[in-house]
Structure formats: C-alpha cells, structure tokens
C-alpha cells in the first residue's frame, strides 16, 4: 500500500543520490525555525530552511507577538518592576499547569534577560511602558502587559511582575516579530526554499537522521543534512485525525494557525520512535473581552461563576472548555458560557476596546436574564446576590477576584454569549463559533538542548525539535507568549546543537 | 549508553539464535492475553504466553470482574430487559466520552451476545438476577447490575438496560473470571512461562515483528514468534514517568493494578513507530459509597453540586478529578469533595453496604457543617436550600438526578470526606488517600482485528495488541466492565488474527 506523504522513515540505503545537501536542515519557517536557523548559521553551519508555505511566517506571524520574558528585563525595570528568575519560574510552574517541565522552565527563566537582549539585537522593538488591565491585545503600543501574574492564585505563589513583552506595533505584533527573525536568519547566511512539504525523515543504519524527503510542486526532492535536521513544524490543530486521537476536546473550535499545523514533524518523529508528551493539552483563547469579564461575572450553563474573572483570559478559556463543558466534551452538560455585566461596567470599557461586542440580552432583573438566556430559574439570581454580598464585604471568598475589580452590580444587567464571538482589530474574519479558539501544546519529547529523545529517553542522533512540534515548557496550562517564548529560546538551542553535531 | 529494559527494537539480523520458538507469542497473561491465547490455540497455532508475574492474573484478577455485555443477553432477558445492540452502542458512545471509537463500539455491541455465550462456554457463571441500585460491587451474587444506563443524560440518549454482567462470586469476581479464562487457554493447548519480563521486540528488515527479547531470573531469553506477537501487557498506571508525560492528572492517586502495569507494551510499540491514542485518559474510581451519594449530595470545595449523584460512580469520579480539582491539577482551586447526607439517607443504606464508612462531621445546620468542613460561609446553606426546593418540586433542574432518589434532606446532616476512603470487602488494605483510585485508558492504535497500526495507519506486520495496552473502545470516559469487555472481545480477535498470520 502506498501512502501519500507517508511518515514512515526512509532508509538511507534506499536513497541513490541527494538533490540538495546542507549542514543543518530546518523544517518549518516560523519563529522557532528562524531562531534555529539564525543560531546554526551564526555557529558557522550551512543552513537551509524549508517551509510548505510560500514564505516565512507560519502561525507565529499571525499571533499577537507577545513573548513571555522576565527575571528583570530592561523593559520591566523601566516600568518599575524588580523581577527575578525565581519568581518567573514559580509563576510559570503553576500557570503552565500539571505536567509543566520544571527543568525547562528554570532554564528558560534563568536565560530570559539574555534572550530579551538577543531579540532586541535582532531588531525586535519593545516600548518600555505598561498596559495595566486585563486584555488579549492592548490597543496601544505599550511593550509590557500582565498575563495573570497579578491574579489569584498566582499572587499567593510568586511575587507578581508583568512579563508579557510585546513588539511595538499598532496591534498584533507577530508579523513584525517574524520579519525581524527571518531577516536575522538570512543575514546570518541561512537560505530558504518554499512550497516544500517535508513528510519523511531519511535514516542511516545506525538510526541517525541524515536528511529528509520533501515534495515541491509535485516533485520529490531528497535533502541531505550532514549535521542534523531541526523540526519546527508547529503543532497539529489542523490535523483532525490527530486531534481525534489525542485531543478530541479541541475538535470543532476555531483553529489558531496559518492552516498548516498538521503535526507532520511530530508524526515523523513518532514514526522513528521518538517520545511525545502531553498531546492532549491545548490552549483555549476564549471569545470574550477580558476588560468586560473583569468588571462583571463569567458564568456557566448553570448560572454559576467558576473562575476569578480578572485572571489571564486563556485561563478562563481553559476552565470553560475543560471544566465547564463549553466544548461539549461531556455528554449532557450545558455548554453555555455567559459574561454578565451591568451598565456601569460596560460603559467603563472604552468603546474601541470592546472590539465590537454588544450585549446579547439586557434585563432589569437577573430573573428576566435567566428567562432570556435559558439559565435555570433562580440560578443567576442566587449567583448575583452572592457576588454582590461578597463585593460589598470586599472579599471574593469564592473565586478570589482582586478587590480592584470587585463592585456590586446594579440594574440594568446584560448577558453576552461567548459564542457570539469577538473580532480582534487585526482580523477581518469573524470568529463566531463555539466561543473558543484553540491550538495544541503537546509534541515531541526534547531535552534542554533541543535533541529529540527516543522511548528510552536517549537523543536520536541528528534529530532536533523546537516550537510547538515539541512539548516545550508546557503542562496542561498555558500563558500567552510562552509559545513564541519557548519556540525562540529552545529553537536557538536546537540550532546551535545541530550546528555542533557532526 | 546501555539502557536496562530498553524498548528500542532489536534487529533480527543481530539475533544469532532463538532460545524458544512458537507460532504466536502472547505477552501478558491477564484477561486479554488469556482470550488471545485461547483463540490462537483454538485456531491451531502453537501458543506461548509470557508474564512477568509468577502466574496468570494481572490487574484482571484483582478487579470486580464486571464485563459490559448487552444487546439482549440471556441474563438481560431473564431479568426482563429487551436490549438491542443499537441502544448499547448509543449508550457507550456517549458514556465512553469524547473520542470514543464508534467503529469499535458498534462491532463490540453487535458481537456482545455471542461474546456472552463464549464466556459462558469457558465456564464463567452469570446468575440471571438484577441488583437494582447504585453500587461499585453488589453485596450479593446477582449477575446483572446498572452502570449508569438509567441515569441522566443517558436516559435521554438511549433506551436504558442494565449491562454490567458479573461472574457469580461472593464479592469481587475478577479472580474467578481469570481462573476460567486461563483454564480455557490451557485446555486449548496454550503454554505459559512466568517471571518473564518482555521489554524488546525483534524486527526483521522488512519491519515485521518476529519475536521478543525477555529476561527471566536475570537471564536474557530470545523468543521467535513465527506468526506474530500479541501485546496484552496492560496500561501504564504503575509508570510514573509515563504518567508525567501523558496523564499527570493521575499521579499521586491510588493505582488500580497488580503493580505491573508499567506500559512496556505501549512503549515497545511506540519505539517501533506505532500510533497511540488517548494516553491522557483515565478511569477514576471514586472513594465514596454510591448508595449514600445517591441519597444525598456530592459537593465540591465551594459547597456546590456538580453531577447527578445517582449516576455511574466512575462518572462522579471523573467529574471530581478532571472538573472539580479533586486531583489538585489546577493551581489554587480547592480539592475537597464531600458527600452530604441526612440521617434518613444514611440509615437507609444497610450497614454492610456502607463498607465501614462513617460521617466525618455531623451538624444540626448546614452553616455548622460549613464551619466544620471549611466550606465557604453560606455555600452549603445555599446549595441545600436549592436542592430541597427542587426535591420538593420533584424535578432536579440543575443536575437531573432521578426522582427516585430526590427527597428534601432534614437535620441532622453529615459530611463524609471522600479522602477518608473506603475499604471494599475484598481488600484488606486501606484506600485512604486522595479520594481517587485510577488506571489508564489510552494505548496503542489498533484496528478491529487487533493489528497494531503505524503512524500511516497501516498494520505493523506481526504485531497485535488488546486490553489496556491498546486504546480499545475508549474516549475520555469510562464505564465498569468495558476494560475486561474490550480486552476479552478484541483479545480474541487479536489471537485469531495472529494465528492466521503467516
């Protein structure tokens, strides 16, 4: 049986000749690939980057561009925060969830200031000013933002400091970030070929990866990589078969990708006996305006609060999808999630920062709102009474929202259905759907130097990985900027390791 | 680097000679392995079973012995239920959760009556009487029990019928089941060797599995399998590294196993490029008395109900662990789970069926109980008021508990901490711990005939799997009896396929 784009490795003995030869081959030209290519070229290796698209960018170029950095960066210091690597590591260990890779987090936190300077030296601009309220993307060019560090329970686990570093841009900074990184890789001497889809690794008799098979315009190309292959092919949110096998909770939601995250790198590694980690884990971008949520309530289909509404909005999203059944993964349970605000809270968020969101229903009493939303009779009434009581007393006993956002709500009340979606400034498309935009966090098992490890946890000779093709820092939690963060940080490591491999 | 018990495949060319030869080699002598061995021998193959323990049994022998069967078995008919394969498949598809394998479920349901007769023909006794209330293990020798089929939401998704078939035994029937199956395999001609730990597959140049490397009493043994190797090595709950990589939510809980479920078969397959599915999924046996829960409330650390208390208790456990943070997987959130009952409810469960459980706290008012348990002030008071209101009206609007169990609770009230544990009749040990006893559901990707599939979803020649070494029927949900069920059902398939392979 012939399989198109088979990931079954090809024996080097079956490859009569190579169409192209290089020292280091990087597969996938997003932020991780560009970082790997830069460092490999910088270390003196001949470097070729292949990407299936028509140019560099991938999902990285579509992102907000936030990079999670700390431990005392110049931007943090300019904004008055004395951060430490230890506080950063403590936050990430808690926030990246059960299964987070503590060794990688410590390495990443210890090297974060150096990594900041590396990015700046590559031309990535960070304005040293802070945006100081919950949001997905600030409407300003502020270079620093909070990503949940100042919300419960993290306030009790680590000294808070904002660590979301944003390239200076009008809104989404991912495009600018990718332009800088690709230009850097090119300046260092890396070359690139596009419209090349890599599906198969070429393996020597001793198990070492020595090249790849690619297809370009329907033609097969064999590429020899003398020192190693770096897989930076991204996650697998675009591969529904892989989602069904590993993360079926993520099926049916809006996919955060450039449409090319089909998990090819992960599968190529697996076919060779590489270990994988946390393939079920996913980030959940929730379709709500964080500024509105913080000023109101977020309730599930039983009209109950379930999280402090002022926390990192991706944490609200993960709670909603995995715990409140927003995704419909649990038979029977209601999938609704509503943001409840009053007029004061709604008006308090400047109109441009509402991203076009309008109330789905408005009512004078919570009882009326129950009827309009289909929430169980009495449910929202009880929730609101409890919340107002706690807000009046000044302490959110139940979910620990900061007193800064705690205020009794008064009529009229509005309910906003998260399924109605939001339209970020940089996107022309509409996100209307389930209320969630997702991507995958799991991937190949790698060590601190970017080697891909086999099932015996030994490095597979000649094979490296970074970015969302690898598991990176992540357990089952997520924080914005940790994907571009660990992709660029460990992408650099992987590129250096590959260049030194011979 | 030499790795002890390496799973990296060994090339057949490196094996000078084999210590043992057979047609079909079965690795692991639990219910799946015994079923595979029987069918392979029955089909005329020479069959050898290896197990790392001193005799057959594995986790199967320690279990309750329930097998999920339906579609109109003689036991169901004798108890007055006209079940159909369609209703069975509809229930399993919903109950086995997101990602459930619909093709396998349909095959399993269609073949269930035949499989019942096969078990009876192997000597497994099922008494045709029904135990008619929620429980983990009936205190009688009734051969039929409900496993959530008569609880919401399943009552709305499929015609209810009880499908938990129990071997006639004083309490836990797993030992009897294994005795019958092992005797059947032996009678059919299969032989066995014990204290043999298999860690490595032997692979021919064309990728076909042709044998294994085992260790017995410190000595390496090579075994040639002319027709195929069947992996029935169980799940990986005893392997903390694998749990950390795939299912960290399951770490730290009581492990349901014979201590030998280290995932060796799954890892051997992965090392050869086999696909895996749902490695994050786990069953959660919750440490509560189902009869008490059904008569009361189950509440989380915020004093809120979260599931209909009369459903399959494993579903309560999964909700508690994955959604209510019983496992502590989510930073900050309270991990407590309490069963709340009143005196009437407690006394209504006969003392022997309470398995020694005593109230952790008793109080005259829910407010007092809040103080004793540490639940937020006002929380349990509100929950109980709401529950009593719904119970009085006769409809559980929130969680849809059956009217059969709906009754306003009256003082005095008791709270039972699920962490206090329960002590099933057949176990001398104490389960005190987190409130959860767990095992893994994910495993190798197999087809309907038990072939292990590679990353291109092609069968790996000579390699078969069943039981918890394979993913089987399961998505992220679970129902008692589906593991012994799909293990024996698809174990038979795997044995037959291996015997026919040449």
3-state secondary structure A441-465: CCEECECCCCEEEECCCCEEEEEEE
3-state DSSP helix/strand/coil percent for chain A, to nearest 5? Answer: 35, 20, 45
Residue count of chain B, please give it. 502
Partner-chain residue, chosen from A3, A278, A455, that has the shortest CB–CB distance to B456: A3
CA distance B244 to chain A (A): 6
CA distance A445 to chain B (A): 9
Q: What is the dihedral of CA B442, B446, B450, B453, to 10 degrees?
A: -140
Alpha-carbon distance of A220 to A349, in angstroms, equals 55
- Residues in B closer than 8 angstroms to A270, CB to CB, are 270, 273, 275, 455
Residues 6+ apart with CB under 8 A from A4: none
Q: Do B331 and A8 touch (CB under 8 A)?
A: no
Query: What band does B200 get if pLDDT is binned at 50, 70 and 90?
Result: very high
Q: Do B272 and A273 touch (CB under 8 A)?
A: yes
Angle between helices B112-121 and B102-110 (to 10 degrees): 60
Tell me which residues of chain B, numbers 265 to 304, contact chain A at a CB-CB cutoff of 8 Å: 267, 270-273, 275-280, 302, 304
Token pair belonging to A165: 């570093």
Instruction: Give, in order, the Cα–Cα distances in Å from B410 to each of A491, B119, B344, B364, B391.
Output: 62, 47, 8, 9, 12
pLDDT in tens, B347-385: 999 998 998 899 999 999 999 999 999 999 999 999 999
Find the closest chain A residue to B252 by CA distance: A98
Alpha-carbon distance of A311 to B164, in angstroms, equals 44
Question: Are the C-beta atoms of residues A36 and A498 closer than 8 Å to each other?
Answer: yes
pLDDT in tens, B401-460: 999 999 999 999 999 999 988 876 665 445 668 999 999 999 999 999 999 999 999 999
> Is B386 in the A-facing interface, judged by CB distances under 8 Å?
yes
> Beta B144-145 vs B130-131: how paired, if at all?
parallel
Superfamily of domain B24-61+193-200+223-283+439-500: FAD/NAD(P)-binding domain (3.50.50.60)
- Residues in A closer than 8 angstroms to B101, CB to CB, are none
Q: Do B455 and A398 touch (CB under 8 A)?
A: no
Partner-chain residue, chosen from A279, A400, A455, that has the shortest CB–CB distance to B271: A455
CA distance B9 to chain A (A): 9
To probe the interface with B, which of A95, A273, A371, A454 has the most B CB atoms within 10 Å?
A273
- Residues in A closer than 8 angstroms to B319, CB to CB, are 330
* pTM for the predicted model, two decimal places: 0.97
DSSP 8-state class, residue A14: G
Which regions in chain A score pLDDT beneath 70? 1-2, 170, 424-432
> Is A2 in the B-facing interface, judged by CB distances under 8 Å?
no
Q: Where are the strands (E) in A10-163, listed by range?
A: 10-11, 20-27, 47-50, 67-68, 130-131, 144-145
- Residues in A closer than 8 angstroms to B95, CB to CB, are 331
- Residues in A closer than 8 angstroms to B277, CB to CB, are 245-246
> Is B377 in the A-facing interface, judged by CB distances under 8 Å?
yes
What is the CATH code of the structural domain delimited by A10-62+174-283+437-500? 3.50.50.60
DSSP 8-state class, residue B118: H
Instruction: Name the nearest CA neighbour of A354 among A416, A263, A434, A282.
Output: A416
Question: Are the C-beta atoms of residues B265 and B232 closer than 8 Å to each other?
Answer: yes
Residue count of chain A, please give it. 502
pLDDT at B431: 61
Q: In what order do the strands lie in the sheet with A67-68?
A: A67-68, A164-165, A144-145, A130-131
What is the b/e burial string over B25-39, where b = at least 16 CB atoms within 10 angstroms of the residue's CB? bbbbbbbbbbbbbbb
What is the b/e burial string over B321-349, where b = at least 16 CB atoms within 10 angstroms of the residue's CB? bbbbbbbbbbbbbbbbbbbbbbeebbeeb
Q: Cβ–Cβ contacts within 10 Å for residue A206, how many?
A: 9
Mean of the per-residue pLDDT values for chain B?
95
CA distance B147 to chain A (A): 15
pLDDT in tens, B433-447: 899 999 999 999 999
Q: Do B331 and A154 touch (CB under 8 A)?
A: yes
Instruction: Name the nearest CA neighbour of A311 among A480, A151, A97.
Output: A151
User: Residue A199: phi, psi to the nearest 5?
Assistant: -120, -15
Mean of the per-residue pLDDT values for chain A?
95
- Residues in A closer than 8 angstroms to B248, CB to CB, are 98-99, 278, 475-476
Token pair belonging to A315: 């944490």
- Residues in B closer than 8 angstroms to A9, CB to CB, are 273
With vertex at residue A318, the alpha carbon angle to CA B281 and CA A145, rounded to the nearest 5 degrees, is: 140
Burial of B206 (C-beta count, 10 Å sphere; 0-12/13-18/19+): exposed
Q: Do B278 and A330 touch (CB under 8 A)?
A: no
Tell me which residues of chain B, numbers 98 to 127, contact chain A at a CB-CB cutoff of 8 Å: 98-99
To probe the interface with B, which of A455, A463, A475, A477 has the most B CB atoms within 10 Å?
A455
pLDDT at A431: 60
Tell me which residues of chain B, numbers 313 to 332, contact chain A at a CB-CB cutoff of 8 Å: 319, 322-324, 327, 329-332
Partner-chain residue, chosen from A7, A279, A332, that has the shortest CB–CB distance to B279: A279
Please give the ipTM for the structure prediction. 0.96
CA distance A417 to chain B (A): 20
CA distance A293 to chain B (A): 19
CA distance A275 to chain B (A): 8
CA distance A260 to chain B (A): 18
- Measure the N-to-C terminal CA separation of chain A; round to a whole number of Å: 36
Alpha-carbon distance of A18 to A49, in angstroms, equals 16
Q: Where are the strands (E) in B82-152, listed by range?
A: 130-131, 144-145
- Sorted by where each begins, the domain ranges of chain B are 24-61+193-200+223-283+439-500, 67-165, 288-420
Residue A21, CB-side half-sphere exposure with 13 Å CA sphere? 4
- Residues in B closer than 8 angstroms to A279, CB to CB, are 246, 279-280
To probe the interface with B, which of A280, A391, A402 has the most B CB atoms within 10 Å?
A280
Partner-chain residue, chosen from B271, B273, B332, that has the shortest CB–CB distance to A153: B332
Find the closest chain A residue to B93 by CA distance: A331
pLDDT in tens, B215-258: 999 999 999 999 999 999 999 999 999 999 999 999 999 999 99
> Is B95 in the A-facing interface, judged by CB distances under 8 Å?
yes
User: Residue B224: phi, psi to the nearest 5?
Assistant: -95, 135
Residues 6+ apart with CB under 8 A from B152: A332, B308, B311, B399, B400, B401, B402
Instruction: Name the nearest CA neighbour of B106 among B84, B81, B89, B127.
Output: B89
Q: Do B455 and A382 touch (CB under 8 A)?
A: no
H-assigned helices in A145-239? 154-157, 174-187
Element (H, E) at B339: strand B337-342
pLDDT at B272: 97
Tell me which residues of chain A, numbers 168 to 207, contact chain B at a CB-CB cutoff of 8 Å: none
pLDDT at B428: 47
Alpha-carbon distance of B255 to A491, in angstroms, equals 38
Q: Do B445 and A245 touch (CB under 8 A)?
A: yes
Q: Do A273 and B270 touch (CB under 8 A)?
A: yes
Q: Alpha carbon B341 to chain centroid distance?
A: 28
Q: Do B329 and A378 touch (CB under 8 A)?
A: no
Residues 6+ apart with CB under 8 A from A265: A27, A28, A231, A232, A233, A234, A443, A444, A465, A469
Highest mean pLDDT among A321-335, B3-17, B75-89: B75-89
Question: Are the C-beta atoms of residues B336 and B262 closer than 8 Å to each other?
Answer: no
Q: Do A249 and B98 touch (CB under 8 A)?
A: yes
Burial of B481 (C-beta count, 10 Å sphere; 0-12/13-18/19+): buried
What is the CATH code of the structural domain delimited by B288-420? 3.90.700.10
Question: Are the C-beta atoms of residues B235 and B261 closer than 8 Å to each other?
Answer: yes
CA distance A485 to chain B (A): 21
- Residues in B closer than 8 angstroms to A157, CB to CB, are 331-332
For range B165-177, the mean pLDDT: 88
pLDDT in tens, B139-162: 899 999 999 999 999 999 999 999
CA distance B322 to chain A (A): 7
Residues 6+ apart with CB under 8 A from A320: A284, A286, A298, A300, A306, A326, A337, A418, A435, A436
Alpha-carbon distance of B209 to B212, in angstroms, equals 8
Question: Are the C-beta atoms of residues B313 and B478 closer than 8 Å to each other?
Answer: no
- Residues in A closer than 8 angstroms to B477, CB to CB, are 331
Find the closest chain B residue to A460 by CA distance: B8
pLDDT in tens, B93-115: 999 999 999 999 999 999 999 99
H-assigned helices in B336-405? 343-348, 366-373, 379-393
> Is A249 in the B-facing interface, judged by CB distances under 8 Å?
yes
């Amino acid at each position: 049986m012939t399989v198109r784009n088979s990931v079954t490795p090809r024996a080097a003995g079956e490859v009569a000749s190579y169409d192209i030869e290089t020292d280091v081959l990087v597969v996938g030209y997003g932020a991780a690939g560009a970082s790997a290519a830069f460092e490999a070229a910088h270390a003196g290796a001949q470097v070729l980057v292949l990407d299936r698209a028509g140019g560099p960018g991938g999902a990285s170029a579509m992102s907000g561009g936030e990079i999670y950095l700390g431990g005392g960066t110049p931007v943090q210091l300019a904004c008055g925060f004395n951060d430490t690597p230890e506080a950063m590591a403590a936050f990430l260990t808690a926030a990246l969830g059960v299964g987070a890779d503590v060794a990688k987090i410590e390495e990443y936190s210890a090297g974060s200031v150096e990594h900041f300077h590396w990015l700046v030296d590559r031309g990535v601009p960070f304005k040293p000013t802070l945006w100081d309220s919950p949001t997905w993307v600030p409407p300003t060019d502020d270079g620093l933002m909070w990503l949940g560090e100042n919300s419960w329970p993290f306030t009790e686990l680590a000294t808070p400091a904002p660590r979301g570093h944003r390239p200076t841009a009008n809104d989404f900074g991912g495009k600018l970030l990718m332009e800088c990184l690709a230009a850097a890789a090119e300046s260092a001497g890396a070359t690139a070929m596009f419209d090349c889809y890599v599906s198969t690794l070429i393996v020597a008799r001793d198990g070492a990866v020595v090249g790849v098979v690619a297809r370009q315009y329907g033609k097969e190309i064999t590429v020899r990589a003398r020192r190693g292959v770096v897989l930076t092919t991204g996650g697998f949110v675009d591969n529904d078969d892989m989602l069904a096998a590993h993360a079926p909770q993520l099926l049916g939601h809006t996919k955060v990708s450039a449409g090319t995250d089909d998990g090819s790198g992960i599968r190529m590694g697996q076919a060779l006996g590489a270990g994988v980690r946390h393939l079920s884990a996913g980030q959940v971008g929730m379709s709500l305006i964080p500024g509105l949520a913080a000023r109101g309530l977020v309730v599930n289909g039983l009209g109950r609060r379930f999280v402090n509404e002022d926390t990192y909005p991706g944490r609200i999203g993960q709670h909603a999808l995995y715990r409140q059944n927003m995704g419909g993964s649990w038979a029977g349970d209601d999938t609704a999630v509503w943001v409840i605000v009053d007029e004061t809270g709604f008006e308090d968020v400047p109109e441009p920062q509402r991203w076009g969101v309008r109330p789905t229903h408005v009512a004078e009493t919570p009882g009326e709102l129950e009827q309009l939303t289909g929430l169980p009779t009495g449910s929202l009434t009880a929730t609101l009474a409890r919340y107002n009581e706690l807000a009046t007393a000044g302490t959110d006993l139940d979910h620990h929202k900061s007193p800064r956002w705690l205020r009794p709500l008064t009529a009229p009340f509005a309910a906003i259905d998260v399924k109605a979606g939001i339209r970020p400034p940089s996107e022309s498309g509409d996100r209307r759907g389930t209320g969630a935009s997702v991507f995958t966090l799991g991937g190949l098992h790698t060590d601190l130097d970017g080697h891909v490890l086999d099932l015996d946890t030994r490095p597979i000779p000649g094979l490296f990985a970074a970015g969302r093709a690898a598991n990176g820092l992540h357990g089952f939690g997520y924080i914005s900027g940790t994907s571009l963060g660990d992709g660029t940080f460990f992408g650099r490591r992987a590129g250096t390791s590959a260049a030194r491999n011979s």
